[in-house]
Structure formats: C-alpha cells, structure tokens
Amino acid sequence: MLTRDVLKSYLAEMPRGHIFDLTYSLFADAFPPGEPDPIARAALQAFAKECGCDLKNNVLEGRYELTRL
C-alpha cells in the first residue's frame, strides 16, 4: 500500500525530468477514495505542486504522471 509519506519521499529523490506513474489503484491508496473523486484529485494536484511535480492524467492508461520539475 502506497502512503503519501512514501510517495513524497520517492518524489523528493527523483531526478529532474523523471516521471512517476501513479496508477489509479495506487492513487486510491494514497488519496482515498481515488478516481473519480474531485476532492481526491484536488488533493493530488496540491500534493504534486508541493513536491515540485507537474501532474497529467492519462485516462486511457488509468494513471497519473508526476514529472519532477
């Protein structure tokens, strides 16, 4: 199970330009209840900004892409 603390730690160690694929199931672990909850999405957006990442939703592949800026 992925927690926000674990994800934050991993993102902090990623090199610039690296992409972390956050599947919808991992998203639900860290930001319950997950897709398609708008509050969970907003929390992820704020979290990505706090971690210095750009966020893209790849709906076709069922994942978010967090790119380290």
Please say if the pLDDT value at position 45 is more than 90: yes
Cross-strand partners of 58: 63
Please say if the pLDDT value at position 1 is more than 90: no
- Report the alpha-carbon distance of residue 11 to residue 39 in Å, rounded: 21
What pLDDT digit, counting tens, does each position of 14-23 carry?
A: 999 999 999 9
- Report the alpha-carbon distance of residue 37 to residue 28 in Å, rounded: 10
Round the CA-based radius of gyration of the chain to a whole number and report it: 11
